[in-house]
Homo-oligomer: A and B are copies of this chain.
Amino acid sequence: MMWLAVFSRQQSHVRLCHSIRLLSTFRYEDMQITLTDKPARKPDNDKLKFGANISDHMLEIDWTEQHGWGCPQIKPVEPLRIHPAAKVLHYATELFEGMKAYRCVDNKIRLFRPMENLNRMATTAQRTALPEFDKIELLKCLKKLISIDQEWVPYSQRCSLYIRPTFIGTEPTLGVSYSNQAKLFVIIGPVGPYFPTGMKPVSLLADPAYVRAWPGGCGMFKMGSNYAPTIKIQEIAVKKYNCQQVLWLFGDDHQMTEVGTMNLFVYWINESGEKELITPPLDSGLILPGITRKSLLELSRQWNEFKVSEQVITMARFVKALNEGRVQEVFGAGTACIVCPVNRILYKGQELNIPASDDPSNLTQRFYKEVNDIHFYRKASSWMEAVEENEEEPLRTYETQ
């Protein structure tokens, strides 16, 4: 399907509203903006805690089955008014995305591969039975929000702006069914470095008693319902086992699937004696198709210095490699940290120790530096997309799937 963004900005509101219904999307051109008269004080970059600081404004767009999408609104951040019978509060009719913008070395603000997130968001919306929308229009609205709150993008190459698109079902009736009302909103806020004092490896609890995702389920979608069941297990890992995160296993053969809320990577010498970067494949439906995961695979395939595989890794295979001294690095990969080294796995009561040196020649460190260089545009990359180009460039034609 191809949306053509051919409407001129001068078109009348009435005609635009007509178009909205036809295309089943909201339109950037319809945006209504209300600015706060009480801007908050920006927090110190040194004191940022992930997800605790929200900027002054948010984007909010409502949909009803009857009237379709309303006008996008940028307005001061305030509590949402949600009916106590709304489906989001009962049946988890909700999904989100996590993405980031960076204040680059040239002081321009850029997003990292935003269409990857918005494509995933659209796929997840479909699985959640939430309505379709035009991703390009959402990207434009989102850039406008960042542009308005641009002073919230930290003046720092250690910090960034976290962006949280969220989509919830708001129909106020209790039947377990698709929601005939929905709200898409985006909040943003500055976040600090995942590792404030240098990269610190984490320890993992690998207990097959706790399963995150399964074939025929929704593990590959970014639905809210994937997260609630993990919170108690994360608490058990920390409090009962003194591990920092959970290594999610699956199946009788204890496949390693994900790490906390991150994708899993192992860098090792494989059974054929080859250097190999390996991560679990997406086709099982168990694995979230992470944007960082995809980027690391693409980078290392470009480098072409070692084998890169998407393959099942069972604990037996991993432990054998570890015992034979073939495991070089294990790390999680995600938007929050880029990469997060692992130095210990607690499995069946046994401590598995994994090499995790601070050597900058390590693959983990190399990925971190490379992706950071891209984020802050120390290395120019087509993965970065400027926030302000909306206003400078003519409307473009995008193809969406």
Report A's interface with B, CB cutoff 8 A.
49-52, 54, 58, 77, 79-85, 88-94, 96, 126-129, 162, 164, 166, 168, 172-178, 185, 187, 189, 208-211, 214-218, 223-232, 234-235, 260-261
* A127 / chain B contacts, CB cutoff of 8 Å: 229, 232
* A80 / chain B contacts, CB cutoff of 8 Å: 81-84, 89
A170 and chain B: residue at smallest CB distance: B79
Q: Which 10 A-B pairs have the closest CB atoms?
A: A51-B174, A211-B216, A225-B225, A91-B227, A92-B92, A79-B81, A92-B224, A92-B228, A214-B214, A225-B228
Contact of A96 among B90, B209, B218 (CB under 8 A): B90
Cα A210 to Cα B247 with chains together (Å): 25
* A208 / chain B contacts, CB cutoff of 8 Å: 216
* A90 / chain B contacts, CB cutoff of 8 Å: 94, 96, 164, 166, 224, 227
Cα A50 to Cα B174 with chains together (Å): 7
Cβ-defined contact, B84 with A94, below 8 A: no
Q: Given A89-B166, A129-B235, A235-B129, decide whether A175 and B225 contact each other with a Cβ distance below 8 A.
A: no
> Which has the most chain B C-beta neighbours within 10 Å: A94, A178, A228?
A228
A186 and chain B: residue at smallest CB distance: B84
Cα A129 to Cα B58 with chains together (Å): 29
Cβ-defined contact, A175 with B83, below 8 A: no
Cβ-defined contact, B175 with A51, below 8 A: yes
A249 and chain B: residue at smallest CB distance: B216
Cβ-defined contact, A88 with B91, below 8 A: no
A150 to B: closest C-beta gap in Å: 20
Cβ-defined contact, B162 with A93, below 8 A: no
Q: Given A85-B164, A225-B229, decide whether A210 and B214 contact each other with a Cβ distance below 8 A.
A: no
Cβ-defined contact, A234 with B50, below 8 A: no
Cα A210 to Cα B126 with chains together (Å): 15
A335 to B: closest C-beta gap in Å: 12
Cβ-defined contact, B84 with A166, below 8 A: yes
Cβ-defined contact, B51 with A228, below 8 A: no
Cβ-defined contact, A232 with B77, below 8 A: no
A180 to B: closest C-beta gap in Å: 11
Contact of A175 among B50, B177, B209 (CB under 8 A): B50
Q: Given A51-B174, A81-B79, A92-B94, decide whether A229 and B210 contact each other with a Cβ distance below 8 A.
A: no
Q: Given A54-B85, A82-B80, A211-B217, decide whether A177 and B231 contact each other with a Cβ distance below 8 A.
A: yes
Cα A227 to Cα B229 with chains together (Å): 13
Cβ-defined contact, B224 with A176, below 8 A: no
* A83 / chain B contacts, CB cutoff of 8 Å: 79-80
Cβ-defined contact, B173 with A52, below 8 A: yes
* A174 / chain B contacts, CB cutoff of 8 Å: 50-52, 162, 164, 189
Cβ-defined contact, A228 with B91, below 8 A: yes
A210 and chain B: residue at smallest CB distance: B216
* A187 / chain B contacts, CB cutoff of 8 Å: 84-85
Cα A223 to Cα B175 with chains together (Å): 15
* A216 / chain B contacts, CB cutoff of 8 Å: 208-211
Further 7 A-B residue pairs, CB within 8 A, beyond A176-B261, A178-B232: A50-B174, A51-B173, A52-B173, A90-B94, A91-B227, A94-B228, A176-B234
Cα A244 to Cα B226 with chains together (Å): 26
